[in-house]
A and B are shown apart, each in its own frame.
Chain A
């Protein structure tokens, strides 16, 4: 069965610092991977996704992620954190069509 592990339930960075949110997946078939962001009292918004092709994927709001098959990882990065990036971030893998399997989430705090 496919699964997703996000290392670190809470990550705190200073404004302007690098953001690194870790995601590892287990999958016996080529994975389709997603990063979503959730702001308080809202639904989930897609940041980026990997399907096939280029392993470095660029998303919205300056985020990007690199698919590394050898490490079964899909870590999310942003060079310079902004206060508005404070939110909860979820990594997910698509298992069967409309069924996303999510990691436990990482709450990102940004200090001024």
Chain B
């Protein structure tokens, strides 16, 4: 079974621009979660989608948004980029129900650098 894939792997943007990151979950998985990883703040939850609906949301500004398509693929968008948005963005997919005990399987991440 193919794992979680994320595209692109690396991105360089300038302040004020917007960016869209893509995540393809493991086949059959319906829950997709996004995390931001930075040296200072560690791993922080952005949001989770389940069956095309946002089910959970972290404490990030409205510039961060996402969506999920009917095939469970997910995208996240960051508008008006700031220097502090430079991070590794990780996507994870989990099980059929996306429950508390389900294992989240992570992709390799997208490294975003904002100049």
Q: Report the bound CA distance from A104 to B42 in whole Å.
A: 6
Q: Given A44-B90, A46-B103, does the pair A97, B108 have CB atoms closer than 8 Å?
A: no
**A102 touching B108 in the complex, CB below 8 Å, given contacts A43-B4, A97-B98:** no
Q: Per-position contact with A for B13-53: 1 when CB-CB < 8 Å, else 0?
A: 00000000000000000011101000000111100111000
We find that the number of chain B residues with CB closer than 8 angstroms to chain A is 30
Q: How far is the CA of A35 from the CA of B35 in the complex (A)?
A: 16
Docked-complex contact A99 and B56, CB < 8 angstroms: yes
Residues of B within 8 A of A94 (CB): 100-101
Asked whether any CB of chain A lies closer than 8 Å to the CB of B99, the reply is yes
Interface of B is mostly: strand
- Please tell me the number of chain A residues within 8 Å of chain B, measured between CB atoms: 24
A49 CB within 8 Å of chain B: yes
Q: Which residues of A contact B42 (CB under 8 A)?
A: 102-105
Bound Cα distance from A61 to B44, whole angstroms:
26
Contact with B along A63-95 (1 / 0, CB 8 A): 000000000000000000000000000101010
